[in-house]
C-alpha cells in the first residue's frame, strides 16, 4: 500500500507547495489576489510561473498546457514545451508569467454556437488561480477560463465562477442584514457522486454501438438481470478492486478526495464519491476524475462507461450533486443548528431555496437535459422530469406550522418570530431519505439527483447558484429596508413558504399518482431534452441571467442552439450506427444461420424424412420473417434520417428526432433483439448483455 498522506496532492501546486517555494511577500500577494478575486499582476505572475516550472520539472514535467472546459463537455489542452532555444544552440527551460496568465489556443475548432465568426476565431484562456495547477502525464496543467477576444464566454468555467461570486455577494448581504457582520464571503460547495460501469475491453471493442456511442443500441435481456439485487455493495471482484486501488492512488496524487466505492444496483456498476469542495474545484476535479477513470480502466483491460444508459433494462448511471453554502467563518448555511438565534438564518436560506427551485424548475430541468439522460429521468431508476423538493417529514411539519401560523406540536412553547424556537435534528437517521426525489434535503445540504453521469457539473451549479442568488437578492432588498428586522424575517419566511408550498413533495416520485398530482399543482413536466431546452431562452430566464451578468442574451441563445444541435447529432450517430450494425452484422448473421438450418433440412429431406413441420424449417421460417422486418425497419430508419435536417430551426429538428427518429430506432431494435434470441450463439456477431455484464 502507498503512503496516502505522502501521495496525496503530490502532483498539485497547492497552498503548501506555494508557501514553501514562493518568497514570503509573493506568496502573500498571491493569496490576497486569490481570496479577493483580484487581477493577477504580471511581476507577481513571473515569479509564480518560474516557481511552478521548477517544481514541475523536478516532478518530471517537460510541457505545460492551459487546461480548459469548452462547450464540448470534455476538457481541452494544448501542450507547449518549456524548451526555449538559445543563440548558442543550447536550450533553457522557460515559463513566463505571461504564458501562465494567458494562452491562445486555436479556438476555431471548438463549438461556440455561432458566437465567433471564423475571421475572429481566436479565443484566449486565462488562469483561474482559485484552482491549483497540477501535473498530468508530464505536463503542467493550468486550469483556465476560455473566452473570445470579443469577450464572449466560450467555456463552462467562466459562468460558474461568476455564479459563485454572485451567490456569495447576495448571501453576504442577507447575513449582514440579520446581524452576522463577520462573514465576508460565502462559498457554494459541491460533492458530486459519480456512477459508472466497467466492461471488458476486448468485449467492448467487438460492439460498434459501444465504440461509437457509449451505449448499446441492440441487446436482448439476459436471463439474469439486476432483479436479484445481489450486486449492491456486493463483493467487488478482484480485477475491479485492482482498478479502484489504482484509480484512488491517481486521484489522490491530484489532490482529489476520492472516498467511497461500492457496487451500485446494476451489475458491473460502481460509484465514486469525493469529499466536497468549492464548486469550482469540485467541477475541475470531477472532469479530471472522469478522464482518469477511463485511462486507468484501459490499463486494466477494462473500459469505463460514463454514458447515462449503457444498457436497456438495467439501471443507468447518474451523478448526485450534493450542494450547500458555507461562510468563510466556517458556518454551513443549511445546517439547521440547535441555536434558536440561528434558526432564522436557516429558515431564510431554506425559504430562498424553495422559492428558487419553484420559480426556476425549468432551468434546473434544462441543466440536466441530454439525449443520454432522457433514458433515465422518469424511468423508475432516477428522479422524474418533474422537479420538486423533498424536505423530510419533520422539516415539512415545521414549514407547514409556519405557513398555518400554528405551534409545531401540542404543548410546545409559543411561537417565536419565525414560528419555531428550536428546530429538531433533521435526518440523522438515513432511513428517512427519499431516494426518488430530484432535490432532497439531506441534513445540511441539498442533493440534486437528476444529473447524468457524463455531465460536467458546471451547468447545474451555475443554475443553482444563480437562482439561489436571485432569491436571496430579493430577500436582502426587503431586509435592508426593514425597520423591525425580526418582524421582517418572520414575514419573509412565512410569505415565501406560503407562496411555494406546491414544490414540496415527500411522497414517491416514481408513482403515476405524482405525475397527475404535479400537473394539478401546475408543476412542469418536461419529459425530454427536446421539450426542456427551449425553456432556456424564455424571457424570464434571459432576464435572470443578463440581470446578474452570468450570460449575455447572445450567449444564452448560442448555448441553447449548441445543446439542441448536440442532441440531434448524438442521436443521428446512434441511428447511423444501428443501420450499420443491422446491414453489416445482424442481417449477415441471420443469413448464415438460416443457411445452416436450410442445409440441415435439405439433408434430412434427401434421406426421405418429411421436413414440412421439422424444427429446422419452423425456426428457419421464424428467422426469415424477422430478417424481412429487420430489413424493412432499417430502410425506414435510413429514410427517416434523410429528412432530419429538412427543417431549418434547431428546435424543430430536435422535435423531429424525438418524434420520428427515436421511435424508428426503437422499432428496429425490437427486430434485432428478437433475432439475437433465436440465432445460434456461434453465429452472433457481437457480445451479448450476459457476456458484458457478468
Which chain residues interact with ligand ADP by CB under 6 A?
A: 189-191, 193, 273-276, 322-324, 332, 430, 444-445
**Which residue lies nearer to Mg ion by CB, 193 or 359?**
193
For residue 188, the minimal CB distance to ligand ADP (Å) is 8
Report the partner that residue 67 touches, choosing among Mg ion, ligand ADP, none (CB closer than 5 to 8 A by kind): none
For residue 500, the minimal CB distance to Mg ion (Å) is 24
**Which residue lies nearer to Mg ion by CB, 270 or 320?**
320
**Which residue lies nearer to Mg ion by CB, 51 or 368?**
368
The terminus-to-terminus CA distance of the chain in angstroms comes to 29
Contact assessment for residue 193 and residue 320, using Cβ atoms and an 8 Å cutoff: yes
Which residues, including other chains, have CB under 8 Å from residue 652's CB and lie 6 or more apart? none
* C-alpha cell, 403: 405557513
| Closest to 661 measured CA to CA, from 308, 371, 380, 453 | 371
Q: Where are the alpha helices (DSSP H) in 338-484?
A: 340-359, 361-367, 393-404, 458-481
For residue 275, the minimal CB distance to ligand ADP (Å) is 4
156 binds Mg ion (CB under 5 A): no
Beta partners for residue 241, in sequence order: none
Report the partner that residue 107 touches, choosing among ligand ADP, Mg ion, none (CB closer than 5 to 8 A by kind): none
For residue 320, the minimal CB distance to ligand ADP (Å) is 7
For residue 193, the minimal CB distance to Mg ion (Å) is 5
| Residues 190-219 interacting with Mg ion (rule: CB under 5 A) | 193
| Closest to 445 measured CA to CA, from 656, 669, 275 | 275
Q: Is 645 helix (H, G, I), strand (E, B) or coil?
A: coil
**Which residue lies nearer to ligand ADP by CB, 215 or 320?**
320
Report the partner that residue 273 touches, choosing among ligand ADP, Mg ion, none (CB closer than 5 to 8 A by kind): ligand ADP
Rg of the chain taking only CA atoms, in angstroms: 28
For residue 471, the minimal CB distance to ligand ADP (Å) is 18
For residue 227, the minimal CB distance to ligand ADP (Å) is 25
Beta partners for residue 262, in sequence order: 271
For residue 690, the minimal CB distance to Mg ion (Å) is 29
Report the partner that residue 558 touches, choosing among Mg ion, ligand ADP, none (CB closer than 5 to 8 A by kind): none
Task: Give, for 277, the enclosing helix (H) or strand (E).
Answer: strand 277-278
Contact assessment for residue 562 and residue 71, using Cβ atoms and an 8 Å cutoff: yes
User: Going residue by residue from 274 to 313, which x/- string records binding to Mg ion, judged by CB under 5 A?
Assistant: ----------------------------------------
Report the partner that residue 191 touches, choosing among Mg ion, ligand ADP, none (CB closer than 5 to 8 A by kind): ligand ADP
For residue 443, the minimal CB distance to ligand ADP (Å) is 8
Residue choice 157, 319, 320, 494 for contact with Mg ion (CB under 5 A): 320
* C-alpha cell, 447: 442533493
**Which residue lies nearer to Mg ion by CB, 125 or 442?**
442
For residue 683, count CB atoms less than 10 angstroms from its CB and return exposed for 0-12, middle for 13-18, buried for 19 or more: middle
For residue 322, the minimal CB distance to ligand ADP (Å) is 3
Which residues, including other chains, have CB under 8 Å from residue 546's CB and lie 6 or more apart? 552, 553, 556
For residue 431, the minimal CB distance to ligand ADP (Å) is 11
Report the partner that residue 118 touches, choosing among Mg ion, ligand ADP, none (CB closer than 5 to 8 A by kind): none
Report the partner that residue 347 touches, choosing among ligand ADP, Mg ion, none (CB closer than 5 to 8 A by kind): none
**Which residue lies nearer to Mg ion by CB, 105 or 443?**
443
In whole angstroms, what is the distance from residue 8 CA to residue 255 CA?
6
Contact assessment for residue 141 and residue 67, using Cβ atoms and an 8 Å cutoff: yes
**Which residue lies nearer to ligand ADP by CB, 458 or 577?**
458
Q: What is the largest CA-CA distance in the chain?
A: 105
Candidate ranges 185-193, 303-311, 476-484, 541-549; the one touching Mg ion (CB under 5 A): 185-193
Q: Where are the alpha helices (DSSP H) in 86-200?
A: 97-101, 158-177
**Which residue lies nearer to Mg ion by CB, 170 or 308?**
308
Report the partner that residue 671 touches, choosing among Mg ion, ligand ADP, none (CB closer than 5 to 8 A by kind): none
Q: Number of residues in contact with Mg ion, rule: CB under 5 A?
A: 2
Report the partner that residue 83 touches, choosing among Mg ion, ligand ADP, none (CB closer than 5 to 8 A by kind): none
Candidate ranges 42-50, 128-136, 245-253, 318-326; the one touching Mg ion (CB under 5 A): 318-326
In whole angstroms, what is the distance from residue 524 CA to residue 635 CA?
37
- Number of residue whose CB is nearest ligand ADP: 191
**Which residue lies nearer to ligand ADP by CB, 276 or 505?**
276
In whole angstroms, what is the distance from residue 394 CA to residue 506 CA?
11
Report the partner that residue 219 touches, choosing among ligand ADP, Mg ion, none (CB closer than 5 to 8 A by kind): none
Task: Give, for 595, the enclosing helix (H) or strand (E).
Answer: helix 587-606
Counting every residue written for the chain, the total comes to 694
For residue 177, the minimal CB distance to ligand ADP (Å) is 23
Report the partner that residue 274 touches, choosing among Mg ion, ligand ADP, none (CB closer than 5 to 8 A by kind): ligand ADP
In whole angstroms, what is the distance from residue 167 CA to residue 186 CA?
7
* C-alpha cell, 365: 430541468
**Which residue lies nearer to ligand ADP by CB, 52 or 364?**
364
Task: Give, for 78, the enclosing helix (H) or strand (E).
Answer: strand 76-81
Q: What is the 3-state secondary structure (H, E, C) of 502-566?
A: HHECCCCCCCHHHHHHHHHCCCCCCCCHHHHHHHHHCHHHHHHHHHCCCCCHHHHHHHHHHHHHH
**Which residue lies nearer to Mg ion by CB, 283 or 442?**
442
In whole angstroms, what is the distance from residue 639 CA to residue 336 CA?
59
Our separate counts of H helices and E strands in the chain read 24, 18
For residue 388, the minimal CB distance to ligand ADP (Å) is 19
Backbone angles phi, psi at 533, to 5 degrees: -55, -40
**Which residue lies nearer to ligand ADP by CB, 129 or 443?**
443
| Closest to 368 measured CA to CA, from 236, 212, 532, 241 | 532
**Which residue lies nearer to Mg ion by CB, 454 or 496?**
454
Q: Which residues would be at the binding site for Mg ion (CB under 5 A)?
A: 193, 320
Amino acid at each position: 500500500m502507498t503512503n496516502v498522506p505522502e501521495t496525496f496532492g503530490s502532483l498539485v501546486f497547492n497552498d503548501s507547495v506555494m508557501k514553501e517555494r514562493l518568497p514570503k511577500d509573493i506568496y502573500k500577494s498571491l493569496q490576497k489576489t486569490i481570496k479577493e478575486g483580484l487581477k493577477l499582476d504580471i511581476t507577481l505572475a513571473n515569479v509564480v510561473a518560474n516557481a511552478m516550472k521548477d517544481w514541475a520539472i523536478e516532478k518530471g514535467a517537460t510541457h505545460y498546457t492551459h487546461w480548459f472546459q469548452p462547450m464540448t463537455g470534455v476538457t481541452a489542452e494544448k501542450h507547449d514545451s518549456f524548451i526555449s532555444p538559445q543563440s548558442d544552440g543550447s536550450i533553457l527551460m522557460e515559463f513566463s508569467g505571461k504564458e501562465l496568465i494567458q494562452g491562445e489556443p486555436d479556438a476555431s475548432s471548438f463549438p461556440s454556437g455561432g458566437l465567433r465568426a471564423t475571421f475572429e476565431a481566436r479565443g484566449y484562456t486565462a488562469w483561474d488561480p482559485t484552482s491549483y495547477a497540477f501535473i498530468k502525464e508530464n505536463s503542467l496543467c493550468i486550469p483556465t477560463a476560455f473566452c473570445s477576444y470579443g469577450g464572449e464566454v466560450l467555456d463552462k468555467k467562466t459562468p460558474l465562477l461568476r455564479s459563485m461570486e454572485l451567490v456569495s455577494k447576495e448571501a453576504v448581504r442577507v447575513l449582514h442584514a440579520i446581524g452576522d457582520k463577520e462573514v465576508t464571503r460565502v462559498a457554494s460547495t459541491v460533492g458530486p457522486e459519480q456512477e459508472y460501469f466497467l466492461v471488458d475491453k476486448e468485449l467492448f471493442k467487438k460492439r460498434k454501438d459501444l465504440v461509437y456511442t457509449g451505449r448499446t443500441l441492440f441487446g436482448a435481456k439476459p436471463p439474469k438481470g439486476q432483479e436479484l439485487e445481489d450486486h449492491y455493495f456486493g463483493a467487488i471482484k478482484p480485477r475491479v478492486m485492482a482498478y479502484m486501488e489504482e484509480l484512488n492512488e491517481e486521484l489522490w496524487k491530484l489532490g482529489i478526495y476520492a472516498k467511497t466505492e461500492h457496487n451500485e444496483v446494476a451489475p458491473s456498476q460502481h460509484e465514486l464519491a469525493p469529499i466536497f469542495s468549492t464548486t469550482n474545484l469540485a467541477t475541475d476535479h470531477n472532469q479530471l476524475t472522469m478522464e482518469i477513470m477511463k485511462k486507468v480502466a484501459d490499463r486494466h483491460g477494462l473500459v469505463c462507461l460514463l454514458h447515462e444508459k449503457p444498457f436497456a433494462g438495467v439501471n443507468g448511471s447518474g451523478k448526485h450533486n450534493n450542494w450547500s453554502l458555507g461562510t468563510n467563518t466556517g458556518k454551513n448555511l443549511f445546517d439547521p443548528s440547535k441555536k434558536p438565534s440561528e434558526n432564522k438564518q436557516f429558515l431564510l436560506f431554506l425559504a430562498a431555496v424553495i422559492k428558487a427551485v419553484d420559480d426556476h424548475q425549468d432551468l434546473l430541468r434544462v441543466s440536466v437535459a441530454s439525449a443520454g439522460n432522457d433514458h433515465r429521468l422518469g424511468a423508475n431508476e432516477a428522479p422524474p422530469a418533474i422537479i420538486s423538493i423533498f424536505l423530510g417529514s419533520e422539516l415539512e411539519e415545521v414549514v407547514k406550522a409556519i405557513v398555518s401560523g400554528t405551534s409545531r406540536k401540542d404543548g410546545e412553547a409559543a411561537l417565536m418570530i419565525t414560528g419555531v424556537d428550536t428546530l429538531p435534528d433533521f435526518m440523522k437517521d438515513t432511513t428517512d431519505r427519499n431516494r426518488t426525489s430530484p432535490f432532497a434535503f439531506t441534513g445540511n445540504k441539498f442533493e440534486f439527483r437528476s444529473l447524468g453521469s457524463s455531465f460536467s457539473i458546471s451547468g447545474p451549479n451555475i443554475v443553482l447558484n444563480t437562482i439561489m442568488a436571485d432569491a436571496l437578492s430579493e430577500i436582502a432588498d426587503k431586509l435592508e429596508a426593514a425597520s423591525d428586522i425580526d418582524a421582517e424575517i418572520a414575514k419573509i419566511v412565512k410569505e415565501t413558504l406560503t407562496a411555494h408550498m406546491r414544490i414540496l413533495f415527500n411522497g414517491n416520485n416514481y408513482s403515476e399518482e405524482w405525475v397527475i398530482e404535479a400537473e394539478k399543482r401546475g408543476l412542469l413536466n418536461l419529459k425530454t431534452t427536446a421539450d426542456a431546452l427551449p425553456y432556456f431562452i424564455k424571457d424570464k430566464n434571459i432576464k435572470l441571467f443578463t440581470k446578474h451578468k452570468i450570460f449575455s442574451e447572445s450567449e444564452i441563445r448560442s448555448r441553447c442552439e449548441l445543446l439542441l444541435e448536440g442532441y440531434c447529432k448524438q442521436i443521428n450517430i446512434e441511428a447511423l450506427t444501428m443501420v450499420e450494425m443491422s446491414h453489416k452484422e445482424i442481417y449477415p448473421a441471420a443469413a448464415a444461420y438460416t443457411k445452416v438450418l436450410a442445409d440441415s433440412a435439405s439433408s434430412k429431406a434427401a434421406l426421405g424424412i418429411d421436413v414440412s413441420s421439422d424444427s429446422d424449417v419452423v425456426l428457419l421460417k421464424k428467422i426469415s420473417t424477422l430478417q424481412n422486418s429487420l430489413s424493412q425497419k432499417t430502410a425506414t430508419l435510413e429514410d427517416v434520417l434523410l429528412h432530419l435536417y429538412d427543417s431549418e430551426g434547431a428546435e424543430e429538428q430536435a422535435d423531429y428526432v424525438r418524434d420520428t427518429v427515436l421511435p424508428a430506432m426503437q422499432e428496429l431494435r425490437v427486430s434485432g433483439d428478437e433475432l439475437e434470441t433465436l440465432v445460434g450463439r456461434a453465429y452472433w456477431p457481437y457480445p451479448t448483455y450476459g457476456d458484458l455484464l457478468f
